């Protein structure tokens, strides 16, 4: 049966899915008695499942990806035309879309100079880890090889990416891990580790990174990997003063700064990249998800020219260059889709819309906080927001995780798909996550928060 025919026999599709597909992040035991949900169509901010039910998608494909919305024929046409002309060639040679997208992307990233293509966020981060280790081996006698990561951050699903992951429940049962990765404290002011607030807390949380560097030995630490806004660990917006101090510490100890923009990149926070909200100058930037809005697989590892030069200064040495390959980094669909994706963001003014609708979303969430005692904290940047649910505001005791999931389920029942932190921090997976496409309208935002309002009332009374 082909895809077009399947649209006339969706019961067959659901049965085939139940019998053969192993879904991500899913306990499949319930599918022995109930049907899995199968999404069959999307347009704008809405999707339809196999039963014909319509949903507002408030999480951009479930994982912060479909930034420009569904049904973009112009992206599909660009991909189709490119695939007919040249679908693939290994990344050791160039292609037209690869060259043009790199040029276009770097126009939005002052100070950055080179783009290395691969096909997932995990893989993009792995490239940086390998680059840092190679720099350590060639420049520091192998000693400056440790990579710092932050509690609650997430950088991918491979064993080494998990080694840099600060979410215990994502890591559980998959060790042993790659050595040389060291955790630094989180920067979530709502759950502050020190009796400080605002800029004082931000600087103290950054100072904790310096303490780890000094404990480990500055001559052993090569890089630090951070999300500009922590995503799956609870939508954590760094407090004032944090990023400025992080940059200062990195320069002081010659620690390379790697910013993981897999979620925040390509407009999610109202700027092209999340780090651009804070004035920092990274050595590495990684991205995936919104780069092509899910219309094709693509990820990018972007570096400064200074980093790039470290891999070509001794042509006579057969081990001096970056000896890495990503097969599907050579697929032309990704950069072709990404070029059109970026054009849409520019031409439709979606960064401005993200800021306007993001401000509306935060205002609506603040109103929910006033109305529902169970909402302990709301936080966000652009169209990337979260609401942490607590059983008691004074103690900040989290609600039961099943209650947060009940809110998600209630919203879905009423036609709005939202997210929640999931299998990340033990006992703390109680933050509702919202990341609608950058095309969201004022009515869409109100519909999303109205659904949450109703769900909170029904779940918590």
- The token pair that represents 303 in the structure block: 């570096």
- The reported pLDDT for the residue numbered 125 is 98
- The reported pLDDT for the residue numbered 415 is 98
* Whole-angstrom distance, CA of residue 33 vs CA of residue 112: 52
* Whole-angstrom distance, CA of residue 129 vs CA of residue 143: 14
Closest by alpha carbon to 281, among 300, 298, 306, 264? 306
Running DSSP on this structure, what letter comes out for residue 222?
Answer: E
HSE (CB half, 13 Å, CA atoms) of 375? 23
What are the residue ranges spanned by the domains of the chain?
Answer: 37-68+349-460, 74-347
Encode pLDDT of 229-243 as tens digits.
999 999 999 999 999
* Whole-angstrom distance, CA of residue 170 vs CA of residue 165: 8
- Asked if residues 69 and 45 have their Cβ atoms less than 8 Å apart, the reply is yes
Running DSSP on this structure, what letter comes out for residue 238?
Answer: P
3-state SS track over 295-363: CCCCEEEEECHHHHHCCCCCCCCCCCCCCCCCHHHHECHHHHHHHHHHHHHHHCCHHHHHHHHHHHHHH
Residue 314 CB neighbour total at 10 angstroms: 12
* Whole-angstrom distance, CA of residue 408 vs CA of residue 389: 12
Write the CA distances from 461 to 220, 251, 296, 425, integer angstroms. 54, 52, 43, 26
Encode pLDDT of 77-103 as tens digits.
999 999 999 999 999 999 999 999 999
For residue 57, the cross-strand partners are 417
Running DSSP on this structure, what letter comes out for residue 236?
Answer: B
Q: Establish whether the linkage from the previous residue to 236 is cis, with ω within 30° of 0.
A: no
Running DSSP on this structure, what letter comes out for residue 31?
Answer: G
- The reported pLDDT for the residue numbered 429 is 96
Decide the pairing of beta strands 114-118 and 181-184. unpaired
- The token pair that represents 170 in the structure block: 């994502």
- The reported pLDDT for the residue numbered 3 is 75
- Sign of the Cα pseudo-torsion (151, 250, 179, 23, in order): positive
Q: What is the pLDDT along the chain (461 residues), one digit of tens a residue?
A: 777 776 778 889 888 989 999 999 899 898 888 889 999 999 999 999 999 999 999 999 999 999 999 999 999 999 999 999 999 999 999 999 999 999 999 999 999 999 999 999 999 999 999 999 999 999 999 999 999 999 999 999 999 999 999 999 999 999 999 999 999 999 999 999 999 999 999 999 999 999 999 999 999 999 999 999 999 999 999 999 999 999 999 999 999 999 999 999 999 999 999 999 999 999 999 999 999 999 999 999 999 999 999 999 887 888 899 999 999 999 999 999 999 999 999 999 999 999 999 999 999 999 999 999 999 999 999 999 999 999 999 999 999 999 999 999 999 999 999 999 998 999 999 999 999 999 999 999 999 999 999 999 999 98
Encode pLDDT of 165-190 as tens digits.
999 999 999 999 999 999 999 999 99
- The token pair that represents 435 in the structure block: 């990341």
- Asked if residues 209 and 249 have their Cβ atoms less than 8 Å apart, the reply is yes
- Asked if residues 403 and 460 have their Cβ atoms less than 8 Å apart, the reply is yes
Largest Cα–Cα distance in the chain? 72
Q: Which fold has domain 74-347?
A: 3.40.640
Q: Angle CA(259)–CA(344)–CA(69) in degrees, nearest 5?
A: 80
* Whole-angstrom distance, CA of residue 170 vs CA of residue 425: 8
* Helix, strand, coil tally for the chain in percent (to 5): 45, 15, 40
- The token pair that represents 214 in the structure block: 């000094």
Exposed / middle / buried, residue 198 (Cβ in 10 Å: 0-12, 13-18, 19+):
exposed
- The reported pLDDT for the residue numbered 460 is 97
* Whole-angstrom distance, CA of residue 252 vs CA of residue 246: 10
| End-to-end Cα spacing for the chain | 48
Q: Angle CA(234)–CA(237)–CA(243) in degrees, nearest 5?
A: 130
Task: Tell which CATH classification among 3.40.50.1100, 3.90.1150.10, 2.60.40.420, 3.90.550.10 matches the domain 37-68+349-460.
Answer: 3.90.1150.10
The four Cα atoms 144, 147, 150, 152 give a dihedral, to 10 degrees, of: -160
């Amino acid at each position: 049966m082909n895809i077009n025919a399947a649209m006339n026999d969706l019961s067959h599709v659901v049965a085939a899915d139940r019998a053969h597909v192993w879904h991500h992040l899913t306990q499949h035991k319930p599918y022995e008695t109930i049907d899995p949900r199968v999404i069959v169509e999307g347009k704008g901010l809405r999707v339809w499942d196999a039963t014909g039910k319509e949903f507002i998608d408030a999480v951009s494909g479930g994982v912060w990806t479909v930034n420009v919305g569904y049904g973009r024929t112009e992206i599909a046409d660009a991909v189709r035309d490119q695939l007919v002309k040249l679908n693939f060639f290994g990344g050791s040679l160039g292609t037209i879309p690869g060259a043009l997208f790199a040029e276009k992307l770097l126009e939005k990233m002052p100070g950055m100079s080179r783009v290395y293509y691969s096909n997932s966020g995990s893989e993009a981060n792995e490239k940086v880890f390998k680059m840092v280790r190679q720099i350590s081996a060639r420049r520091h006698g192998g000693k400056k090889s440790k990579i710092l990561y932050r509690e609650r951050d997430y950088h991918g699903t491979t064993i080494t990416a998990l080694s840099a992951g600060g979410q215990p429940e994502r890591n559980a049962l998959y060790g042993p891990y790659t050595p040389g990765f060291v955790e630094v404290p989180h920067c979530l002011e709502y759950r502050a580790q020190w009796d400080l607030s605002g800029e004082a807390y931000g600087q103290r949380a950054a100072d904790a990174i310096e303490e780890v560097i000094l404990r480990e030995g500055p001559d052993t630490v090569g890089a630090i990997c951070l999300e500009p806004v922590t995503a799956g660990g609870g939508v954590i917006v760094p407090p004032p003063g944090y990023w400025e101090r992080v940059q200062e510490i990195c320069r002081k100890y010659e620690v390379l700064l790697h910013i993981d923009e897999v979620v925040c990149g390509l407009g999610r926070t109202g700027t092209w990249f999340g780090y651009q909200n804070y004035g920092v100058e990274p050595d590495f930037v990684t991205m995936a998800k919104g780069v092509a809005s899910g219309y094709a697989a693509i990820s990018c590892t972007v570096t400064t020219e200074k980093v790039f030069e470290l891999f070509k200064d001794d042509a006579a040495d057969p081990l001096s260059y970056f000896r890495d390959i990503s097969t599907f980094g050579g697929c032309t669909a990704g950069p072709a889709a990404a070029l059109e994706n970026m054009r849409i963001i520019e031409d439709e003014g979606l960064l401005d819309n993200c800021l306007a609708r993001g401000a509306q979303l935060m205002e609506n969430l603040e109103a929910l906080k006033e109305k529902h005692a169970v909402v302990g904290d709301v936080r966000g940047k652009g169209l990337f927001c979260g609401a942490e649910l607590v059983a008691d505001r004074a103690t900040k005791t989290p609600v039961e995780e099943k209650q947060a999931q009940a809110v998600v389920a209630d919203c879905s029942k009423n036609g709005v798909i939202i997210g929640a932190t999931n299998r990340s921090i033990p006992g703390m997976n109680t933050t509702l996550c919202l990341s609608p496409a950058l095309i969201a309208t004022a009515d869409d935002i109100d519909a999303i928060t109205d659904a949450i309002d109703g769900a909170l009332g029904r779940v918590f009374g």
